[in-house]
């Protein structure tokens, strides 16, 4: 590990949230600059609990935007004269920050896009329209609008996409607080009756946002790709990194979150993502979910997350510490030579034996084994400079929990999926 760079005077990262992606950001700042982060959330969950590299600030209700904003203002008062950099790593927390930018920006660097662009890109339906206009391939998409679903006369629109198909909320922020039996992040729908039942569950639960129905692109988890980018305050893309997904989580709430990836430079895909970012006037971190369509080899762009992404540590592990791009740009005002990452690293939150059980392609499994033998493996929670007994125990317990979750929700690997 290289020595930490000299931290800009007064640098103080502040991160909203408490998941593994939040810890990965705190770790990136600590690796690069040796600074502790302040993490603001409703609970000190396992990924951020008992850590020596961050301080937890808790609010009574982590789902109340006002409480979160007040906590951020309190943190600012408690750190006078510091250069506060604010990050968030879920769509709805990004929205909280952007909607309260006028209150927060006098105290914080707020490296997020405008509220108008956030609204347009966070909605999967609108994203599909914009991406298509900019020449990107997307799955065929139909929008189901529930705005008038409280009216007894309301009826869902017809769907002419072939089954099985995919259904998911157009905006995760609109879906955050909705509760109903069988709620999932992403639904694979096999029949018209299943789709009708989902529409009725959403309607009865009071959902009044939009859902999208999309064609199912064939292929298992290994057809998925992740892209992380940073666009600086001058509109220049200074960071691009792509990863080949090996296995995703399969729990109802985590479906689609990558659990293991190999950092792999796929230039054609990166070029398409860069064209999109330039076309919409993007700024800050972005994370794309992409699937390679095995029928024609095209890259099908599913969405862009207006943040760095839950699994952002794959970028730092490959040698492009994400904190540096932000700090150089927004704190120091420096122009950074653009970086396209091409260092191959295995990022995984899974035990190696569990991962290899699900990688069915012999060549891909061989790459994974070679990276393991070479020690080119990164787990965001396993940090030598934050390895107290409770931290080590949590990382061990989390690995065991992954075994239990896959045994329950995805017991046997398959060669098809979404």
DSSP string, 367-394: HHHHHHHTT-EE-TT--GGG--HHHHHH
**In which residue are the tokens 């995805």 written?**
410
What the block records as the tokens of 97 is 């920050």
Report the SS3 class of residue 315. helix
Residue 253 confidence class, pLDDT cut points 50, 70, 90: confident
Beta-strand ranges (E) seen in 322-387 are 339-340, 346-348, 377-378
- The answer to whether the CB of 159 falls within 8 A of the CB of 213 is yes
User: Which residues have C-beta within 8 Å of that of residue 47, sequence separation ≥ 6?
Assistant: 18, 19, 20, 22, 23, 381, 394
CA dihedral 195, 226, 316, 375 (to 10 degrees): 100
Q: Is the dihedral of CA 125, 131, 133, 138 positive or negative?
A: negative
* pLDDT, tens digit (0-9, with 9 covering 90-100), for 283-328: 999 999 999 999 999 999 999 999 999 999 999 999 999 999 999 9
For residues 44 and 47, what is the distance between their CA atoms, to the nearest angstrom?
A: 8
Q: Would you give the distance in Å from CA 404 to the centre of its chain?
A: 23
Q: What is the CATH number of domain 11-112?
A: 3.40.50.20
Listed by start position, the domains of the chain span 11-112, 140-215, 221-409
Q: Tell me: cis bond preceding 90? Omega within 30 of 0 counts.
A: no
Per-residue pLDDT of 318-347, as tens digits, reads 999 999 999 999 999 999 999 999 999 999
What distance, in Å, lies between the first and last C-alpha atoms of the chain?
A: 37
User: What CATH class does 221-409 carry?
Assistant: alpha beta
pLDDT value for 2: 57
Fold of 140-215: Dna Ligase; domain 1 (3.30.1490)
**Predicted confidence band of residue 417 (pLDDT cuts 50, 70, 90):** very low
Residue 415 has a pLDDT of 59
pLDDT digits (tens, 9 = 90+) for 23-80: 999 999 999 999 999 999 999 999 999 999 999 999 999 999 999 999 999 999 999 9
* Continuous segment of H or E residues that includes residue 67: helix 65-78
Per-residue buried b or exposed e for 23-37, using 16+ beta carbons within 10 Å of the residue's own CB = bbbbbbbbbbbebbb
Confidence of residue 416 (pLDDT cuts 50, 70, 90): very low
Coil, strand or helix: which one is 293? coil
Q: Is the pLDDT of residue 159 over 70?
A: yes
Quick one: how far is CA 82 from the chain centroid? 28
Nearest alpha carbon to residue 289 among 377, 214, 379: 214
Tell me how long the chain is. 418
């Amino acid at each position: 590990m290289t020595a930490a760079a000299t931290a800009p005077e007064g640098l103080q990262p502040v991160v909203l949230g408490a998941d593994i992606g939040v810890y990965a950001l705190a770790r990136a700042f600590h690796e690069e600059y040796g600074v502790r982060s302040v993490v603001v959330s409703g609970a000190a969950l396992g990924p951020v609990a008992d850590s020596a590299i961050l301080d937890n600030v808790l609010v009574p209700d982590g789902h109340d935007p006002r409480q979160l904003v007040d906590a951020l203002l309190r943190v600012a008062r408690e750190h006078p004269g510091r250069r506060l950099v604010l990050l968030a790593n879920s769509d709805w927390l990004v929205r909280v920050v952007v909607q309260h930018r006028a209150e927060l920006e006098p105290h914080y660097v707020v490296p997020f896009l405008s509220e108008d662009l956030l609204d347009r890109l966070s909605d999967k339906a609108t994203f599909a329209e914009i991406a298509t206009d900019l020449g990107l391939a997307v799955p065929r998409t139909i929008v189901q609008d529930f705005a008038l679903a409280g009216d007894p006369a309301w009826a869902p629109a017809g769907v002419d996409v072939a089954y099985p198909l995919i259904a998911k909320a157009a905006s995760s922020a609109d879906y955050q607080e909705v509760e109903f039996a069988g709620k999932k992040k992403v639904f694979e729908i096999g029949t018209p009756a299943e789709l009708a039942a989902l529409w009725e569950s959403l309607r009865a639960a009071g959902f009044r946002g939009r859902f999208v129905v999309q064609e199912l692109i064939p292929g298992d988890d290994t057809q998925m790709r992740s892209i992380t980018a940073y666009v600086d305050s001058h509109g220049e893309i200074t960071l691009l990194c792509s990863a080949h997904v090996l296995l995703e989580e399969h729990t109802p709430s985590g479906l689609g979150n990558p659990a293991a990836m190999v950092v792999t430079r796929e230039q054609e895909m990166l070029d398409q993502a860069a064209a999109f970012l330039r076309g919409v006037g993007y700024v800050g971190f972005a994370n794309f979910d992409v699937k390679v369509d095995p029928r024609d080899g095209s890259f099908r762009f599913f969405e862009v997350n207006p943040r760095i992404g839950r699994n952002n540590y794959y970028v730092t592990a490959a040698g492009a510490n994400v904190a540096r791009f932000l700090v150089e740009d927004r704190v120091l005002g420096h122009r950074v030579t653009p970086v396209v990452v091409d260092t191959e690293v295995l990022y995984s939150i899974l035990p190696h034996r569990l991962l290899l059980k699900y990688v069915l392609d012999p060549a891909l499994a061989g790459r994974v084994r070679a990276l393991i033998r070479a020690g080119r493996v990164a787990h965001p929670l396993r940090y030598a400079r934050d390895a107290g007994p409770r931290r080590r125990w949590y990382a061990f317990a989390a690995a065991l929990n992954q075994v239990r979750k896959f045994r329950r929700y995805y017991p046997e690997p398959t060669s098809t999926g979404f």
